[in-house]
Structure 1
Amino acid sequence: MSDRVEQLILDLFAIEAVKFGDFTLKSGIQSPIYFDLRVIVSYPVIMNEVAELLWETTKKSGAKFATVCGVPYTALPLATLMSAHHDVPMLIRRKEAKDYGTKKMIEGKFEIGSRCLIVEDVVTSGSSVKETAQVLESVGLVVTDAVVLLDREQGGKQKLKEAGIELKGICGTAQLLEILRRHEKIPESVAEQVRDFVRNNSFLPGLEPPVKKSRKVLSYRERGDLCQHPVARQLFSIMEKKKSNLAVSADLCTAEQVLQLADQVGPHICMLKTHADIMTDFSTEFVQSLTELADRHQFIIFEDRKFADIGSTVQHQYRDGLYHIADWAHLTNAHALPGSGVLEGLKQVGLDKKRACLLIAEMSSKGNLATGDYTKATVKMAEEHKDFVVGFISQSQLTEDPTFIHMTPGVQLSGSGDGLGQQYVSPWDAVVTRRADVIIVGRGVYKDPDPASAAQRYQTAAFEAYQHRLAN
C-alpha cells in the first residue's frame, strides 16, 4: 500500500491537485500549500485509486459502519465510488435544505441508531467533518469514524477525537513533503516553508480555528451614500426605492418596439439597456419619448455601445454621428482592450454632461477571452478612473469597493444556453453566489407574451436574492 500511496502523491502533484505558492484558505489564513482535489473528477483512474485507498484504510482500522457519507462537495464522488464498488449504502448531505419536495438535509435510506462513515478529501481543522457529523446525528445516525485522503496535520485529527470521531488518513503533509522531496519535485526551501507553516498554524483542541471576519453587506442606500458620481447615486437610490435590481435589455429593432417595452416594464426595472445601432428608425423623437418614459417610471438609460477604439475615435462615436449617445444615455460601456485612452476620450465628452461608464470585465458568452489577467487589468483601470467609471459588466463581484456596481448579463429564471454561445445563470446564482448588484435580462422578458409580468417575476426573484444577501 505504501508504494501505491507514493505513486498517488506523485500523480496528484502532476495534475496540480497539490500546489505550492501563496494561497488564501477558507479560514482567511495565507498558506504556502494548497490541495485542489476537485480536479480529480477529470482523472477517473486516479479518482478510483483514491476511493480504493480510502476503503482499504478504513477496513484496516477496523471501523464499523452501515453507510458512508461524503462531505460536500469534493468527497461526494469518492463516497459514491466506495459505495458502488463495495456494496455499502451511501447517504448525501445537503448543504442547505431545499424549499420544495421532502426538504430533507440527509438523502438516502438508513436506520436510526446505525453508524455512518464520513468521507473527506482534506482535513485542516476538522470543522467540515464536524458539521457533517452534526447533521447526520440530528437525524438519528451515529458517527464515530471518518476517513480522509490528505490530513494537513494542523490539529484537525485531535479536534475530531475530542468530538468523539476517529480520523484515519491515507497521507499527511509530512509524508507528502518527504515523497515530493525524494523525487525532487520541490526544493527543500519550499518543503521547509510548508513545515514551518504547519508548526505555526495548528488548531489546538478546545480552541476554535481563526476565522476571517466577513465584511458587512451594505444596503443599496448605504452604498449610494458612499458614491461620488451622480449616476451611481441615482441608480442605487432607484434600486432602493423601487425594490428593483433588474435591468431589461431592449434588444429590439424599431422605436415602437423599444418604447412599448420600456412602458410595459418601466415600473419593475432600475435600468433599461438599449442598442441604438440595431434600430432601423432611430430618431430624435425616439430619444425624447424614451427620456420621458425614464423620467415617468424612474429608470436609468444604459446604451450598450461597447466602445473599443482609440480616444479620438470614441469621442466622435459618443458625442456625434447618428446617435449622439452622450446627450441621452446616463450610462454607456467600454472595453479595456484599447487601454486608458478609451476612457480619456469618453470622459472629455461625458464628464461635463454628468454621464458615467461601465467597463466590460467579464462576458457571459462561451469561449470569451475576458478572463484572468485581462479582468484584473480592467479592474485596475476602473480604479484609476473612478471619476467616470462606476462599475463593471461582469459574471461575478470583482472588487470589495462598495461604490462600484457589478452588473451581470445572461440571466434567466432557469439557467441554460441559447445554442449561440450565450450561457445563462439564475437570478439567485447571479446575486447570491456571484454577488452581482444588477441582473440584466433580455429575451426572458421581451420574448414573453406578457413582458410586464415577466419583468415583475425577475424583479421579485432578484430583489429577494439581494435581501437574502443582506440577511446572511
Structure 2
Amino acid sequence: MDEEARKALVLRLFDIGAVKFGTFTLKSGIESPVYVDLRVLVSHPDVLDQVANALLSAVSSVEYDTLCGVPYTALPFATLMSSKTGKPMLMRRKEVKAYGTKKMIEGVITPGQRCLIVEDLVTSGLSVFETVEPLEREQLIVNDVVVLLDRGQGGRKNIETRGKNLRSVLTLAQVLDVLVAAGKVDTVTADRVTAFIRDNQVTVTDKLEAQVLPTKKAKLQRTPFEDRAKLCKNAVGVALFSLMARKKTNLCVAADVVEAKALLDLADAVGPQICVLKTHCDIVRDWTDETGTQLRFLADKHDFLIFEDRKFADIGNTVVQQCSGGVHRIASWAHFTNAHALPGDGIVDGLRTAAGVENHGLLLLAQMSSAGNLLNKEYTSACVEMAKRHTDFVFGFISQERVIEGSEGDAFVYMTPGVKLSQEGDGLGQQYNTPTAVIADRNSDIIIVGRGIYKSDNPAATAAIYRKQAWDALA
C-alpha cells in the first residue's frame, strides 16, 4: 500500500467516525483520549473494500492456504479477502453452541494447512491468541497475523514474542501524523494520545490474561521519611514515618491466614523485616482477646505497627461499635485501620470517637488493585479532599500510587497492595505489580505483600527479599 493510499484510508476512517478523539472509558475501565470503532465499516462498503485491499497488500509476500478473521469486527474483512483471492475461509465461534455440531471452528479444516489470522485492531494481542489456540488444536499452522490498526500499546511485542509474525496496515502513530497534517486533529490532542499510548502499555501473561503495565509517574524527589514525620498531624502517622526511617523498611506483610497460631507465627517470623503487619481479624477462626494482646507484644518486640484492614463502610454510629466493641475490639490492639469514603465524613468522625486520635489513625481507601473495581478518579479525588479535612486522624491512603502531588502530599503515607516479585494475576481479579513498579514508578511509599510471602517456603527470607527491593526502589 503506497503512502497516498494510506493517507486516503486514514482520512476516510476519520470521516466515517471510525477514529474518534475525546474522553472514552475503555473495557478495562481506563479513560482513553482516543477511541477506534471499526464496526462502523459494515455500513460503508467503499471503505470496507479499501480495507480488504490494504490488508491483502500487507500480506502479498505471505504464503497461506486459508484465513480466519477474529470475531466479530474482522469477519467482514476476512470474508472480502477470501472472495478477492479465492482462498477458503474459516470462522471461529466466540462460544461453542450446546447443540448442532458444537464446533469452535466452522468451515472445512485440513490439518497441516497454513492459516492467516485477520484482525481489525491490536492492543494487547490477547484476542489474536484466543483465535490461534483453537486453530492450532485442529492441527492448522498459524505463523502470520495481519491487522488494520496497531495501537502501539505492546500488542506487536506480545504477538511476536510468542512466535507469530504481525503485519499492520496502520499504526496509531501514523494515523495521528496524517490527521495532524490534514488539520483534522490539533497537536495538543495528538500529544495526549501519544502520552496515553506510552503510559498504558499492555502485556499478556503466560495464562493469556491482558494486564496494563503500571504508568510511570515523573521521578519524585523524595523527602526523607524522618522529615515527613514532622509534617504529619496524626500520632500514628508520625510513628510510622519515624519507624520506616529508623528501621529502613517500607514493607507491609498482609497476614491473611485463618488461624491465630499461624498469624502469630507469621508475625514473629517476618517482624524484623516489616514496618506494618496487615491483618484481617474476621477471617481468623479462633480469634480471642489474647490474640490481639500477643500481636501487640510482637509489634513491640520487632518494632512494627498493626494495621487492621477492616475497610469500614457504614454510618458513624455503627462503626463506633464495630471498631471499639464486638468480638474483635479492634481499637484495643490495632494501631490503625482503614475505611471507604462512601458514607461521607461521618465515618471518620465515628472511628475517631471509637479509637481516639492519640493512639490510633485511619487510612482512606482511595484506589484498589482488583480488576474492574469502581473506584474512579472522581472517587479518589473525593477521598483526598476528605483526608485533608481530617488530618488529625487520617494520615494516608490505600492507593495504587501517590495521590497528592507536591509538598502537601508529603504529610500523608501511601500504601499499595497487590505486589509480587513478578507481574501476574491470580485468576480472581487481583492484578499484581512489582515492588520497583509501585515505589519507583508510581511513587508510593509502602508495598503490601500477602501470598507472595506467607505462602512461600520461608516467609522470613522472602520478606527480606521484598524489603530490600522496596527500599532500594526509593533511591
2:364 corresponds to:
359
Q: What code does the residue aligned with 1:357 have?
A: L
**Could you tell me which of 276, 279, 288 is aligned with 1:274?**
279
1:19 corresponds to:
22
Query: 5 Å matches for 1:283-294?
Result: 283-294=288-299
1:7 corresponds to:
12
Query: 5 Å matches for 1:36-115?
Result: 36=33
Q: What code does the residue aligned with 1:221 have?
A: E
2:420 corresponds to:
412
What's the offset of the Cα at 1:344? 1.2
- Between the aligned partners of 2:317 and 2:467, the Cα distance in structure 1 is 39
- Between the aligned partners of 2:40 and 2:455, the Cα distance in structure 1 is 43
Q: Is the 8 A contact 1:264 1:452 kept in 2?
A: yes
What's the offset of the Cα at 1:8? 3.3
Q: What code does the residue aligned with 1:457 have?
A: I
- Between the aligned partners of 1:196 and 1:366, the Cα distance in structure 2 is 30
Deviations 1:271-321 (A, max 9, x none): 001111111222222222211111111101001111111100000111111
1:453 has 2:456 as partner: no
1:135 corresponds to:
none
Q: Is the 8 A contact 1:262 1:293 kept in 2?
A: yes
Say if 1:35 and 1:441 are closer, same or farther in 2 by CA, change over 3 A.
Answer: closer
2:265 corresponds to:
260
User: 1:248 aligns to what SS in structure 2?
Assistant: strand
> Over aligned residues, Cα RMSD in angstroms?
3.9
Query: 5 Å matches for 1:328-339?
Result: 328-339=333-344
Say if 1:317 and 1:196 are closer, same or farther in 2 by CA, change over 3 A.
Answer: closer
Query: 5 Å matches for 1:386-425?
Result: 386-400=391-405, 401-425=409-433
Task: Give me the TM-score of the superposition, normalised by structure 1.
Answer: 0.61
- Between the aligned partners of 2:38 and 2:239, the Cα distance in structure 1 is 47
Q: Is the 8 A contact 1:307 1:333 kept in 2?
A: yes
Q: What code does the residue aligned with 1:451 have?
A: P
Q: Is the 8 A contact 2:11 2:179 kept in 1?
A: no
Query: 5 Å matches for 1:310-389?
Result: 310-389=315-394
Q: Is the 8 A contact 2:357 2:392 kept in 1?
A: no
What's the offset of the Cα at 1:392? 1.0
Q: What code does the residue aligned with 2:11 have?
A: E
Q: What code does the residue aligned with 1:295 have?
A: D
Deviations 1:408-466 (A, max 9, x none): 11111112122222221111111122222111111111111111001001101111112
- Between the aligned partners of 1:387 and 1:439, the Cα distance in structure 2 is 24
Query: 5 Å matches for 1:435-454?
Result: 435-454=443-462
Say if 1:14 and 1:337 are closer, same or farther in 2 by CA, change over 3 A.
Answer: farther
Q: What code does the residue aligned with 1:150 have?
A: L
**Could you tell me which of 213, 227, 231 is aligned with 2:232?**
227
Q: Is the 8 A contact 1:259 1:289 kept in 2?
A: yes
- Between the aligned partners of 1:263 and 1:196, the Cα distance in structure 2 is 55
1:176 corresponds to:
184
User: 2:414 aligns to what SS in structure 1?
Assistant: strand
Q: Is the 8 A contact 1:75 1:121 kept in 2?
A: no
User: 1:306 aligns to what SS in structure 2?
Assistant: strand
1:165 corresponds to:
none
Q: Is the 8 A contact 1:75 1:120 kept in 2?
A: no
Q: Is the 8 A contact 2:13 2:19 kept in 1?
A: no
Q: Is the 8 A contact 2:259 2:286 kept in 1?
A: yes
Q: Is the 8 A contact 1:391 1:406 kept in 2?
A: yes
What's the offset of the Cα at 1:353? 4.0
1:248 has 2:256 as partner: no
- Between the aligned partners of 1:378 and 1:357, the Cα distance in structure 2 is 12
Q: Is the 8 A contact 1:412 1:427 kept in 2?
A: yes
Deviations 1:390-423 (A, max 9, x none): 1111122211111111111111111212222222
Say if 1:176 and 1:428 are closer, same or farther in 2 by CA, change over 3 A.
Answer: same
2:439 corresponds to:
431
Identity of aligned residues (%): 42
1:180 corresponds to:
none
User: 1:232 aligns to what SS in structure 2?
Assistant: helix
Q: Is the 8 A contact 1:221 1:237 kept in 2?
A: yes
What's the offset of the Cα at 1:42? 9.0
1:150 has 2:176 as partner: yes
Q: What code does the residue aligned with 2:458 have?
A: D
User: 1:439 aligns to what SS in structure 2?
Assistant: strand
Q: What code does the residue aligned with 2:425 have?
A: G
User: 1:454 aligns to what SS in structure 2?
Assistant: helix
What's the offset of the Cα at 1:343? 1.0
Q: What code does the residue aligned with 2:290 have?
A: E
Q: Is the 8 A contact 1:225 1:233 kept in 2?
A: yes
Q: Is the 8 A contact 2:319 2:350 kept in 1?
A: yes
Structure 1, unpaired ranges of 5+: 22-33, 57-73, 78-83, 87-91, 95-106, 108-118, 123-147, 152-169, 178-193, 199-211, 468-472
Deviations 1:346-374 (A, max 9, x none): 11122344310111111122222122322
What's the offset of the Cα at 1:377? 1.6
1:202 corresponds to:
none
Aligned length in residues: 326
- Between the aligned partners of 1:436 and 1:447, the Cα distance in structure 2 is 24
Task: Give me the TM-score of the superposition, normalised by structure 2.
Answer: 0.60
Q: Is the 8 A contact 1:174 1:195 kept in 2?
A: no
Q: What code does the residue aligned with 2:176 have?
A: L
What's the offset of the Cα at 1:121? 5.8
- Between the aligned partners of 2:263 and 2:145, the Cα distance in structure 1 is 59
Say if 1:41 and 1:233 are closer, same or farther in 2 by CA, change over 3 A.
Answer: farther
- Between the aligned partners of 1:347 and 1:85, the Cα distance in structure 2 is 59
1:308 has 2:334 as partner: no
Q: What code does the residue aligned with 1:255 have?
A: A
What's the offset of the Cα at 1:219? 2.3
Say if 1:85 and 1:329 are closer, same or farther in 2 by CA, change over 3 A.
Answer: closer
Q: Is the 8 A contact 1:326 1:353 kept in 2?
A: no
User: 2:252 aligns to what SS in structure 1?
Assistant: strand
